Amino acid sequence: MRTNDLILKTTTNIIVFIILAFSFKLFLAGHNMPGGGFIGGLMTAGAIILMYLTYGLGPIKKVIRVPFTFLIALGLAIAVATGLGSFIFEQPFLSQTDGYFYLPILGKTHLATAVLFDIGVYLTVIGVTMTIILSIAEDQ
Amino acid sequence: MLHFLIIAPLLIAILAPFLYKKLKSVHTGWFVLVVPLFIFIYLLSLIRTVIHKPLLLQLNWMPSLGINYDLYVDGLSILFGLLISGIGTLVVFYSIYYLHKTEKLGHFYVYLLMFMSAMLGVVFSDNIFVFYMFWEFTSLSSFLLIGFWNHRHKSRYGAQKSMLITVFGGLSMLAGLIWMSLEVGSSSIRVLIQNSEIITNSPYFMPMLLLVLLGAFTKSAQFPFHTWLPDAMEAPTPVSAYLHSATMVKAGIYLVARLSLLFAGTDEFFLIVSGFGLLTLCWGSYMAVKQTDLKGILAYSTISQLGMIMAMLGFGTGIAVFAAIFHILNHATFKGSLFMVAGIVDHETGTRDIRRLGGLYTLMPITATLAIFGVFSMAGIPLPIMNGFLSKEMFFDAAVDLRLESGSIYQMVAPFFPIIAVIGSIFTFVYSMILFFKTFTGKLQLSKLERKPHDPPIGMLISPAVLVVLIVVIALFPGPFNKYLLTPAVTAVMGEVPHTKIYFWHGFYNAPLFMSLIVLFTGTLLYLTRDKWLHVYNRLPGRWSMNKTYDYVVNGIFKGSTVLTNSYMTGSLRSYFRIIVGFIAIIGLYTMYSSNGFALNINSTPFSLPEFLVALTMAVAAISIIFVHNRIAAILILGVVGYGLSLLFVFYSAPDLALTQLIVETVTVGLFLLCFYHLPELKRDKETSGNKLFNLVVSVGFGVLITLIGISSHSSKWFKPISDYFLENSYELGGGNNVVNVILVDMRGLDTMLEICVLGIAALGILAMIKYNRKGDLE
Q: Cβ contact (<8 Å) for B745 and A114?
A: yes
CB contact under 8 A, B745 and A33: no
Residue B248 within a domain: no
Query: What angle is formed at CA B692 by the lines to CA B689 and CA B694, rounded to 5 degrees?
Result: 115
Out of A109-113, B333-337, B464-468, B471-475, which region has the weakest mean confidence (pLDDT)?
Answer: A109-113
CA distance B94 to B457: 11
Of B169, B168, B44, B28, nearest to B112 by C-alpha is: B28
Mark whether B612 and B699 lie in a shared domain.
yes
Over residues B622-634, mean pLDDT: 85
Mean pLDDT of all residues in B405-409: 74
CA distance, residue A43 to nearest chain B CA (Å): 8
> Which letter does DSSP use for residue B482 in this model?
I
Decide if A137 and B674 are in contact by the 8 Å CB cutoff. yes
Q: DSSP letters of B483-544?
A: IIIIHHHHHHHHSS-------S---SS-HHHHHHHHHHHHHHHHHHTHHHHGGGGGTTTTT-
| Chain A interface includes B500 (CB < 8 A) | no
- C-alpha distance from residue B420 to each of B232, B311, B424 (Å): 28, 11, 6
pLDDT at B505: 59
ipTM of the prediction? 0.91
Supply the pLDDT for residue B504: 59
Segment among B8-17, B110-119, B191-200, B769-778 with least mean pLDDT: B769-778
Task: Give the closest-approach CA distance of A48 to chain B in angstroms.
Answer: 13
pLDDT band at A140 (very low <50, low <70, confident <90, very high): low
The values of phi and psi at residue A89, to 5°, are -95, 20
Mean per-residue pLDDT for B341-358?
85
Element (H, E) at B403: none
Contact B675 A124 (CB under 8 A): no
B497 and B440 both lie in a single domain:
yes
Residue type for position B632: I
Confidence of residue B686 (pLDDT cuts 50, 70, 90): low
* Å between A109 CA and nearest CA of chain B: 12
Contact across the interface for A79 and B674, Cβ inside 8 Å: no
Chain B residue with the nearest C-alpha to that of A79: B753
Asked whether residue B452 is assigned to any structural domain, the reply reads yes
Partners of residue A38 in chain B, C-beta under 8 Å: 660, 744
Residue B148 lies in a domain: no
Q: Is the pLDDT of residue B198 over 90?
A: no
Q: Residue B760 and residue A98: Cβ atoms within 8 Å?
A: no
User: Which of B81-95, B400-414, B511-525 is the least confident region?
Assistant: B400-414
Mean pLDDT of chain A: 86
State whether B756 and A120 contact (CB < 8 Å).
yes
- Count of domains in chain B? 4
Among B551, B569, B587, the domain-final residue is: B569
pLDDT of B685 higher than 60: no
Q: What pLDDT score does B302 carry?
A: 92
As a whole number, mean pLDDT of residues B622-646 equals 88
Count of CB contacts below 8 A, A vs B? 139
Determine whether the interchain pair A132/B763 forms a contact, defined as Cβ–Cβ distance below 8 Å: yes
Residues of chain A contacting residue B655, judged by C-beta atoms under 8 Å apart: 34
What residues of chain A lie within 8 A of the CB of B656, using their CB?
A: 34-36, 39
- Sequence-separated (6 or more) residues with CB below 8 Å from residue B44: B82
Average pLDDT over residues B150-170: 92
pLDDT in tens, B642-655: 999 999 999 888 88
Q: Which of B191 and B384 is assigned the larger pLDDT? A: B191
Q: Would the CB atoms of B763 and A127 count as touching at under 8 Å?
A: yes
Do B656 and A121 lie within an 8 Å CB cutoff?
A: no
**C-alpha closest to that of B626 among B615, B641, B605, B612:** B641
Domain contains B17:
no
Q: Which of B655, B746, B771 is closest, CB to CB, to A96? A: B746
B762 touches chain A (CB under 8 A): yes
Contacts of B772 in chain A (CB under 8 A): none
Note whether B547 and B581 are same-domain residues: no
Contact A118 B674 (CB under 8 A): no
Q: CATH code at B671?
A: 1.20.120
Final residue belonging to a domain, choices B509, B533, B557? B533
Closest chain A residue to B765 measured between Cα atoms? Answer: A132
Q: Which of A38, A123, A125 best tests the B interface by mutation, with the highest count of B CBs <10 A?
A: A38
| Closest chain B C-alpha to A37 CA, distance in angstroms | 9
Question: Do B414 and B455 reside in the same domain of the chain?
Answer: yes
Residue B638 belongs to a domain:
yes
Give which of A96, A109, A122, A129 to mutate to test B binding, by max B Cβ within 10 Å. A96
Confidence of residue B134 (pLDDT cuts 50, 70, 90): very high
The residue among B646, B673, B746 with the most chain A CBs within 10 A of its CB, best to mutate, is B746
Does pLDDT of A1 surpass 60?
no
Residue B542 Rama label (left phi>0; alpha psi -120 to 50; beta): left
Pairing outcome for strands B67-68 and B60-62:
antiparallel
DSSP-assigned letters across all residues of B184-227: HT--BHHHHHHTHHHHHTSTTHHHHHHHHHHHHHHHTT-GGGTT
With respect to residue B502, please indicate whether it lies within any of the assigned structural domains.
yes
Q: Are residues B440 and B337 in the same domain?
A: yes
Give the model confidence (pLDDT) of B430-458 as tens digits: 988 888 888 888 777 777 777 777 777 88
Instruction: Using the predicted structure, report yes or no on whether residue B40 has a pLDDT greater than 90.
Output: yes
Residue B692 lies in a domain: yes
Give the minimum alpha-carbon distance from B649 to chain A in angstroms, rounded to a whole number.
13
Average pLDDT over chain B reads 86
Q: What pLDDT score does B404 carry? A: 77
Report residue A110: phi and psi, to 5°.
-90, 120
Q: Mark whether B679 and B729 lie in a shared domain.
A: no
B313 and B394 belong to one structural domain: yes
pLDDT by residue (tens digit) across A76-119? Answer: 999 999 888 888 888 888 887 777 777 777 777 777 788 888 89
Of B667, B742, B770, the CB nearest to A129: B667
B760 touches A at CB < 8 Å: yes
Higher pLDDT residue, B486 or B163? B163
Please indicate if any CB of chain A lies within 8 Å of the CB of B749. yes
Nearest Cα of chain A lies from the Cα of B645 at a distance, in angstroms, of 17
Residue B738 has pLDDT above 90, yes or no: no
pLDDT at position A104 is: 74
- B675–A35 C-beta distance less than 8 A: no
Look up the domain containing B402 and give its range: 264-533
Residues B524 and B409 grouped into a single domain: yes
How far apart are the two ends of chain A, measured CA to CA in Å? Answer: 21
At residue B56, φ and ψ (nearest 5 deg) are: -120, 115
- In this complex, which of B671, B736, B764 lies closest to A133 when CB atoms are compared? B671
Q: Is any Cβ of chain A less than 8 angstroms from the Cβ of B745?
A: yes
Residue B435 shares a structural domain with residue B518: yes
Residues of chain A in contact with residue B742, where contact means CB-CB under 8 angstroms, are 31, 114
Please give, rounded to a whole number of angstroms, the shortest distance from the CA of A46 to a CA of chain B: 9
B573 close contact with A: CB closer than 8 A: no
- In angstroms, rounded to a whole number, what is the distance separating the alpha carbons of residues A18 and A6? 19
Which of A81-95, B135-149, B209-223 has the lowest average pLDDT? A81-95
Residue at B127 is within a domain: no
Q: Which of B743, B750, B759 to mutate to test the interface with A (most CBs of A within 10 A)?
A: B759
* Contact assignment for B771 to A34 by CB distance below 8 Å: no
Query: Which of A48-57, B174-183, B721-730 is most confident?
Result: B174-183
B564-618: pLDDT as tens digits: 999 888 888 888 998 899 999 999 999 988 988 787 777 667 778 888 899 999 9
> Which tens digits make up the pLDDT trace of B248-306?
889 999 999 999 888 877 888 888 898 899 999 999 988 888 888 888 899 999 999 99
Q: Quick one: CA dihedral B256, B257, B263, B266, positive or negative?
A: positive
Query: Would you place residue B681 in the very low, low, confident or very high pLDDT band (cuts 50, 70, 90)?
Result: low
> Is the separation of the CB atoms in B201 and B184 below 8 Å?
no
Residue of B734, B740, B760 lying closest to A72 (CB–CB): B760
Interchain proximity A83–B759, CB inside 8 Å: no
| Of B663, B745, B756, Cβ closest to residue A43 | B663
Q: Is B754 on the interface with A (CB under 8 A)?
A: no
| B456 and B316 within one domain | yes
- Work out the number of other CB atoms within 10 angstroms of the CB of residue A109: 11
Using a CB–CB cutoff of 8 Å, tell me whether B768 touches chain A.
no
Alpha carbon distances (Å) from A134 to A126, A139, B575, B767: 12, 8, 35, 9
Q: Which of A42, A97, A132 sits opposite B671 (nearest CB)?
A: A132
The confidence score (pLDDT) of residue A115 equals 85
Contact by Cβ (8 Å): B313, B320: yes
B603 and B725 together in one domain: no
- For the stretch B710-728, pLDDT in tens is 888 888 777 888 888 888 8
Q: Does B753 touch chain A if contact means CB atoms closer than 8 Å?
A: yes
CB-based contact (8 Å) between B746 and chain A?
Answer: yes
Distance from the B633 Cα atom to the nearest Cα atom in chain A, whole angstroms: 21
- A-chain CB neighbours of B749 within 8 Å are 83, 94, 96, 114, 117
If asked whether residues B555 and B703 sit together in one domain, one would say no
d(CA B81, CA B74): 10
Q: Is B767 on the interface with A (CB under 8 A)?
A: yes
